[in-house]
Structure 1
Amino acid sequence: MNDTPERPAPVALEHRWSRRLVLWAAVLTLANVLADVAIGSPMMVLPQLMERFDTDQAAWLNASAMLAGALWSPLLARSSDVFGKRRTLVVTLLLACAGALVCFAAPNVWLFLVGRFLQGAAFAAIFITVALARQICTPRVAMALVGLVTSGSSIVGVVEPFLMEPVIDVFGYRSVFVVAALLAAAAAFCVRSLIPESPIRGTGRIDVGGALLLGGGLGAVLAYASLGSDLGWLSAGMVTLLVAGAAALAAWALLARRVDEPIVDLRALSRPVLLTLLALVLAAGSFRSMLQLTSVVAQVPADLGLGYGLGDGEAVAVLLAAPNVGIVVGGTCAGWLAGRFGPAPPLLGGIALGAAATFAMLAGVSVLPLAIACGALVGVAAGAIGASGYNLATSAEAPERQGTTAGLVSVVLALGSVVFTFAGGEVLKATHSSETFAGGAPASTATGVYLYVAMAGVLFVLAVVPAVMLARHRPAAPVEPGAPRRPGRSAADTPGEPVGRRTG
């Protein structure tokens, strides 16, 4: 096989909104809905799962799929660049389907965790749909489509409890896995039947060893950050996990400098991509930690006299629904704006809006209408940041590397969410008051809550710095696949120009 990159022939890309493009958007959004259902729905039946498997390790049952997603991501991201985005997306959905069926039939907790590991592949659906959208549409249309497919699935967070609870009541708690398997199978069939394959692919081999080291290291570090508070930060198992994760990441970094085609080429990461990843890790940590805070504050009665509180839990549904609606609005609008002005301005606007809404929560922690408004605005910011981050990072890369780059964005978003959410939780734990709520759980002092909000606000402010740099020095607009390259310029000089081979 000739691995020399060839300039692709012109390909027909979707250049305007049509019934066919609306159908594509619906199918790709369905694939992303699977990720939410596969990872989130089993948590609706967590007590029944703990009873079935006679275990008290709720943290592992809860976080296993997300951690498996971190392990799957590097391998699937690179595979999508080499073998095609649609083909890899179908494989990803079938893995998730198989995982759901394993979870359904699992006779013990260990086989259940194997199923959750397979379900974790659904995490990759998000960034593969982004990379696929970028290659089957012209840049302007693709950016709007990315905004839709990355944020549209958030509406599941609003309606899922209302849809799943009757199913669970009638068919039992294991029905969540049947639903997840059916959704995965339907999504795989629709993607295979209705979505075209990406016309541009990279060349070469896949560094499986590097993928396992990177994914395993990330998964271990995220597991330590996610589970340490429940299992003990200094327990032998957690310390071993952290050391193993750090060692795997160090080994991957050394390997990436020695092999010709590493799973992620650190030397090829451009300045715009690095700045985008820095802005995303800070912003994601901020808005995810704020979602955690709102669920805590909503359970504190206002008459407890702590200086904050929004009720006895009745406000939780509204406070968590508002951000999900905001994410859909923010992601859709950011995609539309990115197609006209580039993705850097909506990224900066989303971060600025998130900072303003977060600092407004200093007053909103004791005023329910203001808290709902702030939660909705933080959701708008989250949707805009996610969609713009994917658009900006993939725009700065050649198409044959867009799958890998989109995978990096997903991992960075997860990393920021886990690390800074943990940091916020530690702030609340360190400022416990003598009062209790929600079945005897200790409540934090007002000082702890205000410190938490201030921390999240500072993260947003820090994220403004790389976002401003990106807005002031925007990368070159991506050239549509098939456009001739200007003489004397390489793919690295002109981000977005295709250099991979065209496939039918």
Structure 2
Amino acid sequence: MIDPATTSIDLPGQTPNWSPRLLFSLASIMLLLEILAVSYIMISMAVPAISQHYHTTQGAWLLTSFLLVGAVTGPLLGKSADVYGKRKILLACTFIAALGSFVSAVAPSYAVLIVGRSLSGVLIPCIFLSYSLIRDIFPPKTVALSVSVATSGMGLIAIPAPFLTGWFLDNHGFRSIFWFFVVGLGVVGVLILLSTDESPVRLQSRMDVLGAVLLGGGIAGILIAVSFGPIWGWANASTLAFLAGGVALLAAWLVSARIVREPLVDLDVLRRRPILLTSMGSGLAYGCSALFTILLPMMAMTPAILGLGYGFGVSAEGFAIFQVPLGGMVVVGGIVVGILVGKNVRPRLLMIVGLLFISAGFLLTAQLHDSKALLLIFAGLTGTGMGLAYAAVPNLLIEAVPPQLQATTASIVSVTQSVVAAVLPVAAFTVMNNSYIAPIPPEVTQGAILYTDRGFQVAFLIGAVAAAVGAILAALIPRRIDQVDAPPAVIVHEGEPVLNR
């Protein structure tokens, strides 16, 4: 059983249950995370229009720069949140992301647009900053449901996103998408400022600048190598240099973390079984999610007339019908986790079930993908698994880590999720590109690369195996989790430290 006394902070005047202001706060945080989700989807759809406008072949940087900055800055922002205040850092990220969207909206060149898009990457750490803040300021009885809904609610936006993006691009051009983010982030920032209290928990620690540089540089090197390896070539000197440099910097970070008195991340905390296995299992869950959301539209949008054994020839907007069960069931899965954890069902079990659902969804899709109805069912099954796994992760970390280390620890879990989400699709497509390209003339496909039916089967089987491995890792998480020891937290009320805990 999770002891509420160890997972949240009792605040003066705090109501024990839901209140209108609490609902307002949760809705504001969810809106921020919805903007994060729709940001990736909308920009992905706008890449062709942006590339054409700036006459560039480097459209991939629109997505890579966003993910790269999110992963690189995560650990530093997590530590800063624990030291200086989680709401403060969350609002700072929101402001920086809005500024980045403004820069992109008025960018006179593609390079300036990428700078703006990079600044917007600090939205990604808002996921763990949000549930870390909820853990500290929401009443204990509401925490499990709140963090579950906040982390899984992002699935809802996937349903209308294609229609909204199409309307913006057709009627107002790609710049209107960035203006939408400027306005949306500005409004949400004000809502969070008005509705959400600052966490009273502070970690007494110095900032490890050297560790932040080494860890951030290592993550950047590996992600750049993985992202552009398929384009540059895996034996290309640039790919090997980024990969080797990234590994070397991560090794240097591990050494420095053992030497520095107050490291950016305590390695003794990270290597504990509950945290290490949660990090690895959640990474595979997010990696499978990334792979499924890439493979499914490719399969559904391929014209059936080509006779490849798959495909329905749906448009980008027509694909929204597949997003309904996928995104909708992600939310349902998250709500289920919140309710069951509130009734003392262990999040470990729910993470196992979620990953098994994902594995089953991949396996069934690999074997039976010539029927829209079946694909809709399999997408719903996979979405349910995603929602269960997504929502189980913050609940597991809340159980394993004290409040003053929540954001720091969650940031490393977030990095694992980002890295695996980048690596797994690349691995699957490397296999497909090497052995399963369909022998169709380029003039028929208009230059697009299509894959054989067997290629998609293999790719989905890769996802099924990855999710099954994740379920095994989750099963190895101890049934009883003891919170890690941590330096005393300073509890701050109205700007003054009043007690240690």
Normalised by the length of structure 1, the TM-score is 0.89
Asked if the contact 1:206–1:263 (Cα under 8 Å) also holds between the matched residues in 2, the reply is yes
Distance (whole Å) between structure 2 residues aligned to residue 9 and residue 81 of structure 1: 14
Give the aligned partner of residue 404 of structure 1. 408
Asked if the contact 2:78–2:411 (Cα under 8 Å) also holds between the matched residues in 1, the reply is yes
Q: Deviations over 1:444-480 (max 9, x none)?
A: 223222222221111121112122222x62314xxxx
Distance (whole Å) between structure 1 residues aligned to residue 11 and residue 205 of structure 2: 23
Give the aligned partner of residue 236 of structure 2. 235
Q: 1:14 to 1:56 in 2, by over 3 A?
A: farther
Distance (whole Å) between structure 2 residues aligned to residue 41 and residue 68 of structure 1: 18
Asked if the contact 2:68–2:220 (Cα under 8 Å) also holds between the matched residues in 1, the reply is yes
Distance (whole Å) between structure 1 residues aligned to residue 46 and residue 389 of structure 2: 31
Q: How does 1:117-136 map to 2 (within 5 A)?
A: 117-136=118-137
Letter of the 2:481 partner, please give it.
P
Name the SS for the 2:174 alignment partner.
Answer: coil
Q: Quote the offset at 1:161 in angstroms.
A: 2.5
Asked if the contact 2:283–2:416 (Cα under 8 Å) also holds between the matched residues in 1, the reply is yes
Out of 442, 448, 460, which is 1:453 matched to? 460
Give the aligned partner of residue 146 of structure 1. 147
Give the aligned partner of residue 188 of structure 2. 187
**Is structure 2 residue 474 aligned with structure 1 residue 473?**
no
Q: Quote the offset at 1:169 in angstroms.
A: 3.4
Letter of the 1:442 partner, please give it.
I
Give the aligned partner of residue 82 of structure 1. 83
**Is structure 2 residue 323 aligned with structure 1 residue 320?**
yes
Q: How does 1:18-97 map to 2 (within 5 A)?
A: 18-97=19-98
Name the SS for the 2:439 alignment partner.
Answer: strand
Out of 327, 342, 348, which is 2:346 matched to? 342
Asked if the contact 1:399–1:499 (Cα under 8 Å) also holds between the matched residues in 2, the reply is no
Distance (whole Å) between structure 2 residues aligned to residue 113 and residue 356 of structure 1: 38
Farther-moved stretch of structure 1 (460-469 vs 391-400) = 460-469
Q: How does 1:350-365 map to 2 (within 5 A)?
A: 350-365=354-369
Give the aligned partner of residue 479 of structure 1. none
Farther-moved stretch of structure 1 (15-24 vs 58-67) = 15-24
Q: Quote the offset at 1:403 in angstroms.
A: 0.6
Give the aligned partner of residue 437 of structure 2. 432
Q: Deviations over 1:29-82 (max 9, x none)?
A: 012123224444333322232233331111112321111111111111111100
Give the aligned partner of residue 378 of structure 1. 382
Letter of the 2:484 partner, please give it.
A
Q: How does 1:252-331 map to 2 (within 5 A)?
A: 252-269=253-270, 270-306=272-308, 308-314=309-315, 316-331=319-334
Give the aligned partner of residue 373 of structure 2. 369
Q: Deviations over 1:278-331 (max 9, x none)?
A: 21122222232122221221133445443x313113463322343112211111
Q: Deviations over 1:211-256 (max 9, x none)?
A: 1221222122112212221233333332322222222212211111
Distance (whole Å) between structure 2 residues aligned to residue 68 and residue 218 of structure 1: 10
Q: Quote the offset at 1:271 in angstroms.
A: 1.6
Name the SS for the 1:298 alignment partner.
Answer: helix
Letter of the 1:348 partner, please give it.
I
Q: 1:169 to 1:303 in 2, by over 3 A?
A: closer
**Is structure 2 residue 495 aligned with structure 1 residue 503?**
no
Q: 1:239 to 1:82 in 2, by over 3 A?
A: same
Asked if the contact 1:221–1:245 (Cα under 8 Å) also holds between the matched residues in 2, the reply is yes
Farther-moved stretch of structure 1 (328-337 vs 156-165) = 156-165
Asked if the contact 2:351–2:471 (Cα under 8 Å) also holds between the matched residues in 1, the reply is no
Q: Quote the offset at 1:9 in angstroms.
A: 8.9
Distance (whole Å) between structure 2 residues aligned to residue 336 and residue 242 of structure 1: 43
Q: 1:30 to 1:468 in 2, by over 3 A?
A: same
Q: Deviations over 1:338-380 (max 9, x none)?
A: 2221311211111121122221113332222111111111111
Name the SS for the 1:226 alignment partner.
Answer: helix
**Is structure 2 residue 225 aligned with structure 1 residue 224?**
yes
Give the aligned partner of residue 4 of structure 2. none
Name the SS for the 2:147 alignment partner.
Answer: helix
Farther-moved stretch of structure 1 (23-32 vs 242-251) = 242-251
Q: 1:447 to 1:160 in 2, by over 3 A?
A: closer
Q: 1:451 to 1:164 in 2, by over 3 A?
A: closer
Aligned CA-pair RMSD: 2.2
Q: Quote the offset at 1:399 in angstroms.
A: 0.6
Name the SS for the 1:17 alignment partner.
Answer: coil
Name the SS for the 1:443 alignment partner.
Answer: coil
Give the aligned partner of residue 336 of structure 2. 333
Q: Quote the offset at 1:179 in angstroms.
A: 1.0
Farther-moved stretch of structure 1 (380-389 vs 262-271) = 262-271
Give the aligned partner of residue 463 of structure 1. 470
Distance (whole Å) between structure 1 residues aligned to residue 440 and residue 337 of structure 2: 43
Farther-moved stretch of structure 1 (384-393 vs 215-224) = 215-224
Farther-moved stretch of structure 1 (141-150 vs 234-243) = 234-243
Segments of structure 1 that go 5 or more residues without pairing to the other structure are: 1-7, 477-490
Q: Deviations over 1:111-160 (max 9, x none)?
A: 22221121101111111001001111244411110111112122111112
Q: 1:299 to 1:10 in 2, by over 3 A?
A: closer
Q: 1:318 to 1:10 in 2, by over 3 A?
A: closer
Give the aligned partner of residue 483 of structure 1. none
Farther-moved stretch of structure 1 (152-161 vs 30-39) = 30-39
Q: 1:353 to 1:48 in 2, by over 3 A?
A: closer
Out of 400, 403, 413, which is 2:417 matched to? 413
Name the SS for the 1:461 alignment partner.
Answer: helix
Distance (whole Å) between structure 1 residues aligned to residue 216 and residue 36 of structure 2: 18
Farther-moved stretch of structure 1 (94-103 vs 208-217) = 208-217
Give the aligned partner of residue 11 of structure 2. 11
Q: Quote the offset at 1:440 in angstroms.
A: 4.3
Letter of the 2:480 partner, please give it.
R
Distance (whole Å) between structure 1 residues aligned to residue 42 and residue 306 of structure 2: 33
Letter of the 2:360 partner, please give it.
A
Q: 1:178 to 1:303 in 2, by over 3 A?
A: closer
Distance (whole Å) between structure 2 residues aligned to residue 305 and residue 116 of structure 1: 40
Farther-moved stretch of structure 1 (76-85 vs 460-469) = 460-469
Farther-moved stretch of structure 1 (346-355 vs 297-306) = 297-306
Q: 1:142 to 1:449 in 2, by over 3 A?
A: same
Asked if the contact 2:162–2:320 (Cα under 8 Å) also holds between the matched residues in 1, the reply is no
Q: 1:104 to 1:249 in 2, by over 3 A?
A: same
Farther-moved stretch of structure 1 (165-174 vs 254-263) = 165-174
Letter of the 1:502 partner, please give it.
I
Give the aligned partner of residue 245 of structure 2. 244
What is the aligned length? 478
Name the SS for the 2:422 alignment partner.
Answer: helix
Farther-moved stretch of structure 1 (277-286 vs 39-48) = 39-48
